[in-house]
């Protein structure tokens, strides 16, 4: 694994500005997890999403006894190159609405130019007067405001508003985490990340996407406060803060947008890869492990995976996962690896100053 010392400006450019059901809780899945892998043919994202869901048993089975569903895309910034495509969210929302579910879209973006980011620096903030217009700007720029309006579903800014405290079983850092109240009222959280590499976490997939559930009003964004607290506990590759949120707000479904992926120094300014894949599963670790393997990563390269497995989370290997649809070997890619940056190398200036 390559480590690199980034200059302040280079890190800002290469980017690391980012980052249910609470009722479902965290559990160690003892049954064989199933992950579906589907190629996107002729640009038909909606068909690929439906096929991936059908391979898991269908939307009726996945959402059985669940009424309120939140879709959590990865909208780290207003850059469409680095974020979940609206087409994937639209396909999922329509499937769930057709099944009679109440659907919402929730996000707490990391940064946006003119709010807490400039060409020279990225700042932390807990100020609702910054967080509210920033989140609306991100939704607007990426087409999510228009999408939500067309689907008649709410957009939820997870940074501000009424909050609740959620217990974290087997916590690494936080015995309880403050989250937006809407998460406690959600029956099923669906994490919908873009398939990307990450200079802090190695990969950013379904579990890393949950960093966006830490409300800026409570923990500051660009989550530098969360990363500092976790670093003090010895978190490897920001794994502790990811897994604490996975335990607090366990996603019951992960759908990975691999239509266009990102390699190299993600999560914001790596190179794009036309992977043309949708990967889905109801087990967050299993789904991420399959996606990372397709990207060309061994589980030992991803601190979130090794930490999760060491703590008792399953599955422990790909051999313990049932993969439906495409075989990994038929779709595997050799992503350019990120140049790993320890948080302690940048925390003196990245998100260090308050705005």
CATH at residue 144: 3.40.50.11440
Compute how many other C-beta atoms are within 10 angstroms of the C-beta atom of residue 145: 15
| pLDDT for position 20 | 38
182: β partners: none
Q: Give the mean model confidence (pLDDT) for residues 179-208.
A: 98
Does residue 135 register a pLDDT over 90? Answer: yes
Comparing C-alpha atoms, which of 214, 252, 206, 246 is closest to residue 96?
Answer: 252
pLDDT of residue 31: 87
8 Å CB contact between 82 and 15: yes
What is the helix, strand, coil percentage profile of the chain, to 5?
A: 35, 20, 40
Whether 350 maps to a domain, the answer reads no
Number of compact structural domains in the chain: 1
Please check whether residue 282 lies inside any domain of the structure: yes
Mean pLDDT of 288-317: 97
Asked if pLDDT for residue 17 goes beyond 50, the answer is: no
pLDDT for res 262: 98
Residue 73 domain flag = yes
**Is residue 23 pLDDT above 90, yes or no?**
no
Q: Which domain holds residue 287?
A: 8-345
pLDDT of 348 over the 60 cut:
yes
Position 1 in a domain: no
pLDDT recorded at residue 28: 44
pLDDT at 21: 36
Domain assignment of residue 2, yes or no:
no
Task: Give one DSSP letter per residue of 243-258, joined into a string.
Answer: HHHHHHS--SEEEEEE
Q: What percentage of residues in the chain have a pLDDT greater than 70? A: 92
SS3 state of residue 146: helix
For residue 353, is it within any domain? no
The Cα angle at residue 293 between residues 292 and 297, in degrees rounded to 5: 75
Beta bridge partner(s), residue 189: 70
Whole-angstrom distance, CA of residue 261 vs CA of residue 24: 30
197 half-sphere exposure, CB direction, 13 A CA radius: 26
Within-domain flag for 125: yes
* Residue 318 in domain: yes
State yes or no: pLDDT of 25 exceeds 80: no
In the predicted structure, residue 297 carries a pLDDT above the cut 50? yes
pLDDT in tens, 227-269: 999 999 999 999 999 999 999 999 999 999 999 999 999 999 8
pLDDT at 30: 59
Q: CA 211, CA 39: separation in Å to the nearest integer?
A: 28
């Amino acid at each position: 694994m390559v480590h690199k010392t980034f200059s302040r400006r280079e890190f800002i450019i290469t980017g690391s500005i980012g980052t249910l059901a609470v009722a479902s809780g965290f559990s160690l899945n003892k049954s064989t997890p199933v992950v579906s892998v589907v190629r996107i043919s002729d640009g038909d994202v909606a068909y690929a999403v439906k096929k991936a869901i059908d391979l898991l048993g269908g939307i009726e089975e996945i959402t059985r006894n669940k009424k309120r569903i939140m879709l959590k895309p990865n909208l780290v910034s207003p850059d469409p190159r680095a974020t979940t495509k609206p087409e994937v969210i639209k396909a999922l929302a329509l499937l769930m609405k057709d099944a009679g579910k109440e659907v919402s879209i929730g996000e707490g973006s990391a940064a946006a130019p003119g709010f807490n980011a400039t060409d020279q620096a990225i700042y932390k903030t807990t100020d609702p007067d910054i967080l509210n217009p920033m989140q609306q700007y991100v939704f607007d720029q990426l087409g999510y405001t228009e999408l939500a309006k067309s689907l008649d579903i709410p957009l939820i800014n997870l940074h501000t508003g009424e909050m609740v405290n959620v217990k974290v079983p087997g916590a690494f850092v936080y015995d309880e985490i403050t989250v937006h109240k809407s998460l406690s009222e959600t029956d099923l959280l669906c994490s919908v990340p873009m398939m990307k590499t990450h200079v802090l976490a190695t990969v950013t997939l379904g579990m890393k996407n949950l960093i966006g559930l830490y409300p800026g009003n409570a923990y500051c964004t660009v989550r530098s406060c969360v990363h500092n607290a976790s670093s003090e506990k010895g978190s490897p590759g920001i794994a502790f803060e990811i897994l604490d949120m996975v335990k607090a707000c366990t996603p019951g479904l992960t759908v990975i947008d691999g239509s266009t992926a990102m390699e190299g120094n993600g999560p914001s300014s790596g190179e794009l890869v036309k992977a043309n894949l949708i990967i889905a599963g109801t087990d967050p670790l299993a789904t991420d492990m399959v996606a990372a393997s397709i990207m060309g990563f061994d589980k030992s390269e991803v601190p979130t995976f090794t930490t999760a497995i060491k703590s008792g989370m399953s599955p422990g290997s790909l051999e313990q996962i049932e993969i439906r649809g495409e075989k990994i070997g038929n779709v595997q890619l050799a992503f350019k690896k990120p140049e790993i940056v320890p948080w302690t190398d940048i925390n003196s200036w990245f998100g260090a100053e308050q705005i």
